[in-house]
Amino acid sequence: MEITFYIAAFVAVVSTAMVITRLNPVHALLYLIVSLLSVALIFFLLGAPFAAALEVLIYAGAIMVLFVFVVMMLNLGKEAIAQENRWLNPQMWIGPGALSFILLIELIYLLEKESSLLSSAEMVEPQQVGRALFGPYLLAVELAAMLLLAGLVGAYHLGRREQEEGP
Protein backbone atom coordinates (compact mmCIF):
# COMPACT_ATOMS: atom_id res chain seq x y z
CA MET A 1 0.00 0.00 0.00
CA GLU A 2 2.90 2.36 0.62
CA ILE A 3 4.10 2.23 -2.97
CA THR A 4 0.64 3.07 -4.29
CA PHE A 5 0.46 5.99 -1.87
CA TYR A 6 3.81 7.32 -3.09
CA ILE A 7 2.82 6.90 -6.75
CA ALA A 8 -0.40 8.84 -6.16
CA ALA A 9 1.51 11.50 -4.23
CA PHE A 10 4.06 11.79 -7.05
CA VAL A 11 1.28 12.22 -9.61
CA ALA A 12 -0.33 14.86 -7.38
CA VAL A 13 2.92 16.82 -7.06
CA VAL A 14 3.76 16.61 -10.78
CA SER A 15 0.28 17.59 -11.92
CA THR A 16 0.13 20.45 -9.42
CA ALA A 17 3.50 21.72 -10.67
CA MET A 18 2.11 21.58 -14.20
CA VAL A 19 -0.89 23.64 -13.07
CA ILE A 20 1.44 26.34 -11.84
CA THR A 21 3.67 26.38 -14.92
CA ARG A 22 1.03 26.27 -17.70
CA LEU A 23 0.38 29.56 -19.45
CA ASN A 24 -2.97 28.55 -20.89
CA PRO A 25 -5.73 28.42 -18.25
CA VAL A 26 -7.55 25.53 -19.95
CA HIS A 27 -4.39 23.41 -19.93
CA ALA A 28 -3.84 24.28 -16.28
CA LEU A 29 -7.42 23.19 -15.52
CA LEU A 30 -6.76 19.80 -17.11
CA TYR A 31 -3.75 19.25 -14.87
CA LEU A 32 -5.74 20.50 -11.88
CA ILE A 33 -8.36 17.82 -12.53
CA VAL A 34 -5.60 15.18 -12.54
CA SER A 35 -4.23 16.62 -9.30
CA LEU A 36 -7.65 16.46 -7.65
CA LEU A 37 -8.15 12.88 -8.84
CA SER A 38 -4.81 11.86 -7.34
CA VAL A 39 -5.74 13.48 -4.02
CA ALA A 40 -9.00 11.52 -4.14
CA LEU A 41 -7.01 8.32 -4.61
CA ILE A 42 -4.87 9.26 -1.60
CA PHE A 43 -8.04 9.72 0.46
CA PHE A 44 -9.19 6.29 -0.71
CA LEU A 45 -5.88 4.76 0.31
CA LEU A 46 -6.08 6.33 3.75
CA GLY A 47 -9.44 4.67 4.40
CA ALA A 48 -11.77 7.54 3.56
CA PRO A 49 -13.74 6.44 0.48
CA PHE A 50 -16.48 8.95 1.25
CA ALA A 51 -13.98 11.82 1.24
CA ALA A 52 -12.53 10.43 -2.01
CA ALA A 53 -15.99 10.39 -3.60
CA LEU A 54 -16.64 13.94 -2.42
CA GLU A 55 -13.28 15.01 -3.85
CA VAL A 56 -14.19 13.62 -7.26
CA LEU A 57 -17.79 14.84 -7.32
CA ILE A 58 -17.40 18.26 -5.76
CA TYR A 59 -13.90 19.40 -6.69
CA ALA A 60 -13.04 17.52 -9.87
CA GLY A 61 -16.64 17.83 -11.04
CA ALA A 62 -18.58 20.85 -9.86
CA ILE A 63 -15.78 23.27 -8.99
CA MET A 64 -13.95 22.55 -12.25
CA VAL A 65 -17.14 23.28 -14.21
CA LEU A 66 -17.33 26.55 -12.29
CA PHE A 67 -13.72 27.35 -13.26
CA VAL A 68 -14.47 26.59 -16.91
CA PHE A 69 -17.46 28.94 -16.79
CA VAL A 70 -15.28 31.67 -15.28
CA VAL A 71 -12.74 31.22 -18.08
CA MET A 72 -15.56 31.39 -20.59
CA MET A 73 -17.00 34.52 -18.95
CA LEU A 74 -13.69 36.30 -19.23
CA ASN A 75 -14.26 36.08 -22.99
CA LEU A 76 -10.89 37.23 -24.20
CA GLY A 77 -12.08 37.70 -27.78
CA LYS A 78 -11.42 36.27 -31.20
CA GLU A 79 -7.64 36.43 -30.84
CA ALA A 80 -7.75 34.19 -27.77
CA ILE A 81 -10.02 31.73 -29.58
CA ALA A 82 -7.62 31.56 -32.53
CA GLN A 83 -4.66 31.08 -30.18
CA GLU A 84 -6.55 28.34 -28.29
CA ASN A 85 -7.23 26.54 -31.57
CA ARG A 86 -3.50 26.65 -32.35
CA TRP A 87 -2.68 25.30 -28.89
CA LEU A 88 -5.40 22.66 -28.95
CA ASN A 89 -3.55 19.74 -30.47
CA PRO A 90 -3.31 16.06 -29.56
CA GLN A 91 0.08 16.51 -27.90
CA MET A 92 -1.60 18.64 -25.22
CA TRP A 93 -3.46 15.57 -23.91
CA ILE A 94 -0.35 13.41 -23.49
CA GLY A 95 0.63 14.78 -20.06
CA PRO A 96 -2.78 14.70 -18.34
CA GLY A 97 -3.64 11.43 -20.09
CA ALA A 98 -0.45 9.70 -18.93
CA LEU A 99 -0.87 10.86 -15.33
CA SER A 100 -4.54 9.82 -15.34
CA PHE A 101 -3.60 6.43 -16.78
CA ILE A 102 -1.12 5.90 -13.92
CA LEU A 103 -3.90 6.67 -11.43
CA LEU A 104 -6.32 4.33 -13.22
CA ILE A 105 -3.85 1.44 -13.19
CA GLU A 106 -3.18 2.09 -9.51
CA LEU A 107 -6.89 2.13 -8.67
CA ILE A 108 -7.55 -1.09 -10.60
CA TYR A 109 -4.63 -2.74 -8.79
CA LEU A 110 -5.99 -1.63 -5.43
CA LEU A 111 -9.50 -2.82 -6.12
CA GLU A 112 -8.43 -6.23 -7.42
CA LYS A 113 -5.33 -7.22 -5.44
CA GLU A 114 -5.38 -5.29 -2.22
CA SER A 115 -9.07 -5.44 -1.26
CA SER A 116 -8.25 -7.21 2.01
CA LEU A 117 -5.88 -4.41 3.02
CA LEU A 118 -8.44 -1.76 2.14
CA SER A 119 -11.21 -3.43 4.12
CA SER A 120 -9.04 -3.49 7.26
CA ALA A 121 -8.54 0.27 7.12
CA GLU A 122 -10.67 2.43 9.38
CA MET A 123 -13.63 3.85 7.48
CA VAL A 124 -14.76 7.46 7.82
CA GLU A 125 -18.54 7.70 7.90
CA PRO A 126 -20.43 10.54 6.15
CA GLN A 127 -21.94 11.54 9.48
CA GLN A 128 -18.45 12.08 10.93
CA VAL A 129 -17.50 14.27 7.97
CA GLY A 130 -20.67 16.35 8.32
CA ARG A 131 -20.20 16.82 12.06
CA ALA A 132 -16.58 17.86 11.55
CA LEU A 133 -17.37 20.31 8.75
CA PHE A 134 -20.37 21.92 10.37
CA GLY A 135 -19.10 21.67 13.92
CA PRO A 136 -15.72 23.17 14.77
CA TYR A 137 -14.95 24.05 11.11
CA LEU A 138 -18.21 25.84 10.29
CA LEU A 139 -16.55 29.25 10.07
CA ALA A 140 -13.87 27.91 7.69
CA VAL A 141 -16.51 26.33 5.43
CA GLU A 142 -18.52 29.56 5.32
CA LEU A 143 -15.40 31.65 4.61
CA ALA A 144 -14.40 29.31 1.77
CA ALA A 145 -17.90 29.63 0.28
CA MET A 146 -17.74 33.43 0.49
CA LEU A 147 -14.27 33.44 -1.09
CA LEU A 148 -15.50 31.34 -4.02
CA LEU A 149 -18.51 33.62 -4.46
CA ALA A 150 -16.32 36.73 -4.39
CA GLY A 151 -14.01 35.21 -7.00
CA LEU A 152 -16.95 34.38 -9.25
CA VAL A 153 -18.41 37.88 -8.97
CA GLY A 154 -14.98 39.41 -9.65
CA ALA A 155 -14.49 37.23 -12.72
CA TYR A 156 -17.93 38.22 -13.99
CA HIS A 157 -17.13 41.91 -13.64
CA LEU A 158 -13.76 41.48 -15.36
CA GLY A 159 -15.32 39.63 -18.27
CA ARG A 160 -18.40 41.79 -18.62
CA ARG A 161 -18.56 43.93 -21.69
CA GLU A 162 -19.51 47.52 -21.20
CA GLN A 163 -23.01 48.31 -22.34
CA GLU A 164 -23.04 50.82 -25.13
CA GLU A 165 -25.19 53.79 -24.44
CA GLY A 166 -27.94 53.99 -26.98
CA PRO A 167 -30.79 56.38 -27.73
Residue-wise pLDDT tens for the chain (167 aa)? 788 889 999 999 999 999 999 887 777 888 888 899 899 989 888 877 878 888 888 887 777 777 777 776 666 667 766 766 766 677 777 888 888 888 888 888 877 776 665 555 567 677 887 888 788 888 888 888 898 888 878 877 776 765 544 45
**Domain 1-107 belongs to what architecture?**
Up-down Bundle (1.20)
What is the pLDDT, as a whole number, of residue 107?
Answer: 81
Interior angle at CA 141, CA 137 and CA 142, nearest 5: 115
What is the pLDDT, as a whole number, of residue 77?
Answer: 66
Predicted confidence (pLDDT) per residue in 110-149, tens digit:
777 766 655 555 676 778 878 887 888 888 888 888 988 8
What is the pLDDT, as a whole number, of residue 161?
Answer: 63
Q: At what angle do helices 94-112 and 2-21 cross, to 10 degrees?
A: 160
The type of residue at 35 is: S
Phi and psi at 123, nearest 5°, equal: -90, 145
